[in-house]
Amino acid sequence: MAGSSAVLTDDSLLSRLDRVLLRLETFFAMISGIAVFLLMVLAVWSVGGRKFFSSPLAGYVDWIEAAMPFIAIMGIAYTQRQGGHVRMDILIGQLRGRALWAAELLSVVLILALMLALIWGSWAHFDRSFDFSVPMWSRDSSIDIGLPIWPSKLVVPLAFSVMALRLLLQIWGYGRALVLGLEHPVAVPLVQSAAQQAMAEAEHLEGRE
Amino acid sequence: MDPIEIGLWVSGGMLLMVVLGMRVAFAAGMAGLVGLIWIFWAKRGMEWDQLGWALTVAIKTAGQVPHSKVSSQTLSLIPTFILIGFLAYYAGLTRALFEAAKRWFAWVPGGLAVSTVFATAGFAAVSGASVATAAVFARIAIPEMLKIGYNKQFAAGVVAAGGTLASLIPPSAILVIYAIIVEQDVGKLLLAGFIPGAFSALIYGLLIVGIAMIWKNVGPPVRGFTWGQRFAALPAALPIVAVVVIIIFFVYNPFGDAWGTPTEGGAVGAFIVFCMALIRGMRWPELKDALLETAKLTVMIFTIIWGVLIYVRFLGFADLPGAFADWISSLAVSPMLILICILLAYAVLGMFMDAIGMLLLTLPVVYPAVMALNGGEFVSAAESTFGMSGPMCAIWFGILVVKMAEFCLITPPIGLNCFVVAGVRPDLSVQDVFRGVMPFFIADAITIALLVAFPSIVLWLPSLAG
Amino acid sequence: TEWNVSVWGKRRAFTEHIEKLAELVSEKTDGEFTMNISYGGLSKNRENLDGISIGAFEMAQFCAGYHPDKNRAITVLELPFLGVSNLDEEVAVSRAVYDHPAVQEEMAQWNARMLMTSPMPQYNLVGTGEPRQELGDFEGMRVRATGGLGEAFEAVGAVPTSVTATEAYNAMESGVVDTVAFAQHAHLSFGTINKADWWTANLNPGTVNCPVVVNTDAYEALSPEEKEALDSSVEEAIDHYLANYAELLKKWDTILEEKSVQKVEYSPETIEAFKAKAADPARESWIKDMEAQGIPGQELYDLVQETLEKHRAGN
Ligand code: NA
Ligand code: NA
């Protein structure tokens, strides 16, 4: 149900754009991964400071809360590219050919509509906390050490915009497959049977032990 | 139209989108957004010139949720717990555990299978993900069992079932998610997972011993390890013990004040495993890979979380959970029967759905109903239906549903653990694994029945923590 | 008319005026004007002002210290050692400050209109371990205190750590903090009193200010009768709140005794020393900060002091 799916590539413009965007997405996802690592270091520092030097880290909670949007949201397009967002494919897994591409197309169009709405909504959320005319441009601050909140609010529309670009490419990819009746379209994650998928996951682990 | 009616329509629409294969996170987010628009518009009498207003307010309300809900200290446990599991591979903890379990426990009937179960339970203490555990042990444990003449299907079943322990025994991402959704103390929930997790492992072990005693050819014991060899196998597995002790002591210290918060405990545990992995030769390419995989899994989980929370925000405006809770508690059926029906419904739903998605989608409505059955969130043990206070009932129900979710990982048709084991072993078909895992249905049914009948198995440890 | 009201936690002394207001308004309008009070279902508590600004709900409660940059002007009421000594005075100074044009203008940016305050008594500490009797004892103390109060404790060497109110008990149990600053009702409802060894009876370092606001458009859209019903009920709702809180304070001493919590009394010299270290610099820097941003800090501070004098003279 979860896990990644295969994305095919070739020399077409669509596939090249797919790979260009993938580089940006990977960079965003890497920021998320590094933020997780820093979160760990921060906690160790905080505990160490408190236990051994009785000088707790001021604003520990504020920093974690500020870091969480980077961790939780930056990689959204990367995960969409890999087909990594969970779904129930018991029904869609039975479809073949044009019926499958039509269903996939409908699904990504709906997701794009949601993302566009959320880009607007999350931008408004950011905008309420941001004001050029005040110190640190901040009109919303954290509870402990008064960190401005706008930078972490800005992450959301930013990451969602990359997601919207990804969805546009997928609409193109699925649309093309639907019109041309392709069997193995490029630039979109292909449905794998649960068994294939498990194999792919297992292979991934294989490499690491 | 009144809000509850809107709530029902929107919830039905969401389930339809999920069944039709839309990614769960976005189906929930979409349902929430549409629901908000509808409910604000209904408030203005569904006049056409008010639609623009309703749209704006709904979009701005939904747009708050992703940032607002993920900016949580408690939720920061999830990426940490995921990172720990990935780092544990590089630290070589898997093989060390299996080796130690083999030397200590393989002398009983069905010995290697019992060792496998205990090793998966041990690995569960550093891994939040069941599927990963099954995949790793399929590679390590199955060949050893086959070598000494185990039944192929049975060996595969043991690994698939053992893998499920990872989500009950902390660290467990799914327990954290439950705690967030129902707004209960994460630390106590994590504590509560230990004994039922160990208890499940024990029941698996007893079942294996029983099977091995009845059918002599299923799994011969392995003898001949000296005490010296046994102790020699321990040091390599020690970091696991360190992580377990750290997480427990950060939540509950039987000798005094706890050391900190669960968040800090998870992070310190991850740091120890990280150092261990560095010593065992992990370098930047491996670390980069681990971080990227952590990011992907984390984003996947968090996207469902905020997506579902948009839907939950809508539910708040529609007050559907309240209405459902009132309805459930007005039924003239014994509360225990209702609880059992709810658990059975999870068993059925889980056959077709991913565990995290299933819990996130259903808990916002089901949880208040269960709490209402028990007599409310703030009820005392004496006045409650199930004989436990509100917070304790929340913990008990949490462990029950997580155990149900784990059970679903080994049931056909979509038991993910079984697919993973079959995927790792080309000589095994999925049917083989499903056949082999069948006996463990009985074990899980017994475990769940005992947890329902004797809540103190779940509640003893968290009740110590005050 | 039906209004959605966003508050958080559970029903407690802190929300009694809102419950009462809803009751009164509905009574006065024969059920024409009702309020749906939601405890956490509509918004996160730190985003209630955002929700009001959007128009997602019509009425909400929030605390100034949760997000000082959203509501700079009213943070004057959270300055340490302001001199407020009881709930009546707290109501009086809040009312005066809420009426000030600078505050109204800032609230207007959120499309909000001040309705009433949620008067909070002084935030005294409960603590674990040895009582901290002298100013020097505060050095290195990990205290749960927000906003200006946190800064005051910081000035005498303590380390403020904000955990949310619901996590305060756990933070105390786990040693993340060793003292928690709360009003009495919160010490009771969040269970911090159960962990306490001592309580600072007369430190009275300050409090938080938590207004109840309404969405301006929603308010303007009320019929004259509904507006009248709402406005005329505020006084009564506050009185109900005060009476209810007084009951609670009566119980407080018995509870301290039951749990054998030691009352720590500070000498006037200690309190003076604390004030000199924490209050004066905090006030000066606050005023400087505000003036730099075009908010009349000095005027707001003077307004508080004048109102206090007037109020005391009136009684
Ligand atoms: Na685990
Ligand atoms: Na299943």
Which ipTM score applies to this complex? 0.91
Q: Compute the distance between CA of residue B331 and CA of residue B306 in angstroms, rounded to an integer.
A: 33
**Upper half-sphere CA count for residue B120 (Cβ side, 13 Å):** 37
From the CA of B173, the nearest ligand is: 1
Give the pLDDT of residue B109: 86
Nearest CA to B277 out of B76, B85, B82 is that of B85
Q: Compute the distance between CA of residue B361 and CA of residue B304 in angstroms, rounded to an integer.
A: 9
Q: Which of the residue ranges A50-59, B374-383, C2-11 has the most confident prediction, judged by mean pLDDT?
A: C2-11
Chain B residues 421-460 with CB within 8 Å of chain A: 422-424, 430
- Do B137 and B420 meet the contact criterion of CB atoms below 8 Å apart? no
The residues with which A148 forms a beta bridge, in sequence order, are A141
Contacts of B57 (CB under 8 A, 6+ apart): B36, B40, C54, C55, C56
Alpha helices (H) in B125-185, listed in sequence order: 130-147, 152-163, 173-182
Q: Tell me the C-alpha to C-alpha distance, in Å, between residue A98 and each of A92, A95, A181, A189.
A: 12, 9, 6, 15
Q: Compute the distance between CA of residue B246 and CA of residue B241 in angstroms, rounded to an integer.
A: 8
Of residues B33, B67, B352, nearest to A117 (C-beta) = B33
Mutate which of A144, A145, A152, A153 to test chain C, going by most C C-beta atoms within 10 A?
A144
- Do A118 and B62 meet the contact criterion of CB atoms below 8 Å apart? yes
Closest CA in chain B for residue C177: B260
Of residues B187, B258, B377, nearest to C175 (C-beta) = B258
pLDDT tens readout for residues B189-210 = 888 998 999 999 999 999 999 9
Our CA-based measurement puts residue C311 at a distance from the nearest CA of chain A, in whole angstroms, of 32
C120: phi > 0 → left, psi -120 to 50 → alpha, else beta; which? beta
Our CA-based measurement puts residue A178 at a distance from the nearest CA of chain B, in whole angstroms, of 17
Q: Which 8-state DSSP code applies to residue A56?
A: P
Give the pLDDT of residue A4: 46
Closest CA in chain A for residue C163: A61
Identify the domain containing residue A157 by its residue range: 5-208
What does the block give as tokens for B292?
A: 């990227």
Q: Give strand ranges (E) for C10-132.
A: 34-39, 59-61, 112-117, 124-127
CA–centroid distance, A87 to ligand 2, in Å, is 14
CA–centroid distance, C4 to ligand 1, in Å, is 41
Contacts of C192 (CB under 8 A, 6+ apart): C126, C168, C169, C172, C180, C182, C186
* Interface residue B54 vs chain C (CB under 8 A): no
- Residues in A closer than 8 angstroms to C208, CB to CB, are none
**Upper half-sphere CA count for residue B149 (Cβ side, 13 Å):** 9
Burial (CB < 10 A; 0-12, 13-18, 19+), residue A48, is middle
Element (H, E) at C264: strand C262-264
**Structurally, how many domains does chain A consist of?**
1
* Interface residue C173 vs chain B (CB under 8 A): yes
Q: How many CB pairs under 8 A join A and C?
A: 52
- Residues in C closer than 8 angstroms to B53, CB to CB, are 55
- Residues in C closer than 8 angstroms to A148, CB to CB, are 69
Give the pLDDT of residue B184: 81
CA B322 to chain CA mean position, Å? 26
- Residues in A closer than 8 angstroms to B68, CB to CB, are 125
- Residues in C closer than 8 angstroms to A127, CB to CB, are none
Average pLDDT over residues A50-70: 81
Q: Compute the distance between CA of residue C274 and CA of residue A95 in angstroms, rounded to an integer.
A: 74
Q: A-side interface with C, Cβ within 8 Å?
A: 50, 54-56, 58, 60-62, 124-125, 128-129, 134-135, 138-144, 146, 148-149
- Do B197 and B96 meet the contact criterion of CB atoms below 8 Å apart? no
Q: Tell me the C-alpha to C-alpha distance, in Å, between residue B75 and each of B69, C48, C187.
A: 9, 21, 26
Does the beta-carbon distance from A135 to C293 stay under 8 Å?
Answer: yes
Structure-model confidence comparison of residues A170 and C155, the more confident one: A170
Does the beta-carbon distance from A42 to B267 stay under 8 Å?
Answer: yes
Mutate which of C49, C69, C167 to test chain A, going by most A C-beta atoms within 10 A?
C69
What does the block give as tokens for B23?
A: 């990614």
Nearest CA to C93 out of C72, C113, C79, C108 is that of C79
Does the beta-carbon distance from A195 to B83 stay under 8 Å?
Answer: no
Q: Compute the distance between CA of residue B257 and CA of residue C176 in angstroms, rounded to an integer.
A: 10
From the CA of B417, the nearest ligand is: 2
Give the pLDDT of residue A196: 65
Least confident interval from B209-223, C163-177, C265-279: C163-177
Q: Count CB atoms within 10 A of the CB of residue B331.
A: 12
Average predicted confidence (pLDDT) for chain C: 92
What does the block give as tokens for B144?
A: 């050893």
Q: Tell me the C-alpha to C-alpha distance, in Å, between residue B135 and each of A18, B110, B388, B428.
A: 31, 21, 38, 13
Of residues C69, C142, C176, nearest to A141 (C-beta) = C69
- Residues in C closer than 8 angstroms to B317, CB to CB, are 4, 41-42
Q: Compute the distance between CA of residue B155 and CA of residue B436 in angstroms, rounded to an integer.
A: 7
Closest CA in chain A for residue B264: A43
CA–centroid distance, B350 to ligand 2, in Å, is 5
- Do B395 and B462 meet the contact criterion of CB atoms below 8 Å apart? yes
Q: Tell me the C-alpha to C-alpha distance, in Å, between residue B186 and each of A63, B398, C141.
A: 20, 11, 26
Our CA-based measurement puts residue B441 at a distance from the nearest CA of chain A, in whole angstroms, of 21
Q: Is the model's pLDDT at C81 over the cut of 50?
A: yes
Q: Compute the distance between CA of residue C115 and CA of residue B405 in angstroms, rounded to an integer.
A: 48
Does the beta-carbon distance from B61 to C54 stay under 8 Å?
Answer: yes
Give the pLDDT of residue A194: 56
- Residues in A closer than 8 angstroms to C50, CB to CB, are 125, 128
Q: Compute the distance between CA of residue C235 and CA of residue C244 in angstroms, rounded to an integer.
A: 14
Q: Which of the residue ranges A44-58, B352-366, B400-414, C295-309 has the most confident prediction, judged by mean pLDDT?
A: C295-309
CA–centroid distance, B127 to ligand 1, in Å, is 4
Nearest CA to A78 out of A24, A15, A156, A17 is that of A24
Of residues B64, B260, B465, nearest to C176 (C-beta) = B260
Q: Compute the distance between CA of residue B95 and CA of residue B92 in angstroms, rounded to an integer.
A: 6
Q: How many CB pairs under 8 A join B and C?
A: 55
CA B81 to chain CA mean position, Å? 12
Does the beta-carbon distance from B60 to C2 stay under 8 Å?
Answer: no
Give the pLDDT of residue B337: 92
Angle at Cα B169 formed by Cα B370 and Cα B109, nearest 5°?
Answer: 115
From the CA of B430, the nearest ligand is: 2
Q: Count CB atoms within 10 A of the CB of residue A94.
A: 11
Contacts of A99 (CB under 8 A, 6+ apart): none
Give the pLDDT of residue B74: 77
DSSP letters spanning A113-166: HHHHHHHHHHHHHHHHTB-TTSGGGBSSB-TTT--BSHHHHHHHHHHHHHHHHH
Give the pLDDT of residue B362: 84
Give the pLDDT band (50/70/90) at residue A5. Answer: low
Of residues B43, B261, B465, nearest to C176 (C-beta) = B261
The residues with which C117 forms a beta bridge, in sequence order, are C211
Mutate which of A4, A71, A80 to test chain B, going by most B C-beta atoms within 10 A?
A71
Give the pLDDT of residue A209: 41
Q: Compute the distance between CA of residue A67 and CA of residue A40 in angstroms, rounded to an integer.
A: 12
Closest CA in chain C for residue A137: C69
pLDDT tens readout for residues A67-121 = 999 999 999 999 999 888 877 777 887 888 899 999 999 999 999 999 999 999 9
Give the pLDDT of residue B257: 66
Q: Which 8-state DSSP code applies to residue A190?
A: P
Average pLDDT over residues C250-254: 90
Q: Which 8-state DSSP code applies to residue C56?
A: S
Give the pLDDT of residue A192: 65
Nearest CA to B25 out of B357, B314, B341, B368 is that of B357
**Upper half-sphere CA count for residue B387 (Cβ side, 13 Å):** 7
Give the pLDDT band (50/70/90) at residue A200. Answer: low
What does the block give as tokens for C125?
A: 């500490």
- Residues in A closer than 8 angstroms to C162, CB to CB, are 61-62, 143-144
The residues with which A130 forms a beta bridge, in sequence order, are A138
B407-421 CB burial, b ≥16 within 10 A, e <16: bbbbbeebbbbbbbb
Helix, strand, coil proportions of chain C in percent (round to 5)?
55, 15, 30
> Which residues have a beta carbon within 5 Å of ligand 2, which is an ion?
B 351, 408, 411, 414-415
**Which amino acid is located at A66 in the chain?**
A
* Interface residue C288 vs chain B (CB under 8 A): no
Nearest CA to B162 out of B347, B402, B406, B397 is that of B406
Our CA-based measurement puts residue B72 at a distance from the nearest CA of chain C, in whole angstroms, of 11
Chains near B (3 or more Cβ pairs under 8 Å):
A, C
- Residues in A closer than 8 angstroms to B303, CB to CB, are 76, 79, 85
- Do C97 and C178 meet the contact criterion of CB atoms below 8 Å apart? no
- Do B115 and B95 meet the contact criterion of CB atoms below 8 Å apart? no
- Do A182 and A97 meet the contact criterion of CB atoms below 8 Å apart? no
Q: Compute the distance between CA of residue B315 and CA of residue A86 in angstroms, rounded to an integer.
A: 22
* Interface residue B319 vs chain C (CB under 8 A): yes
Give the pLDDT of residue A208: 46
Our CA-based measurement puts residue B318 at a distance from the nearest CA of chain C, in whole angstroms, of 10
Does the beta-carbon distance from A134 to C159 stay under 8 Å?
Answer: no
Angle at Cα A16 formed by Cα A15 and Cα A20, nearest 5°?
Answer: 120
Does the beta-carbon distance from A56 to C159 stay under 8 Å?
Answer: yes
Q: In what order do the strands lie in the sheet with C112-117?
A: C34-39, C2-7, C59-61, C211-215, C112-117
Our CA-based measurement puts residue C170 at a distance from the nearest CA of chain B, in whole angstroms, of 8
What does the block give as tokens for A204?
A: 């991934």
Q: Compute the distance between CA of residue B140 and CA of residue B146 in angstroms, rounded to an integer.
A: 11
- Residues in C closer than 8 angstroms to B60, CB to CB, are 54, 56
Give the pLDDT of residue A1: 34
Chains near A (3 or more Cβ pairs under 8 Å):
B, C
Place of tokens 């041990």: B122
Q: Compute the distance between CA of residue A62 and CA of residue B418 in angstroms, rounded to an integer.
A: 42
Of residues B21, B63, B267, nearest to A118 (C-beta) = B63
Over chain B (466 residues), the average pLDDT of each successive run of 10 is 87 87 90 96 93 97 95 84 81 84 86 90 79 79 85 90 88 84 82 91 93 80 84 84 81 70 83 89 89 87 88 88 82 89 86 75 87 85 87 93 88 76 77 89 91 92 78
DSSP letters spanning C222-245: S-HHHHHHHHHHHHHHHHHHHHHH
Q: Tell me the C-alpha to C-alpha distance, in Å, between residue C7 and each of B59, B149, B169, C248, C266.
A: 21, 65, 36, 21, 35
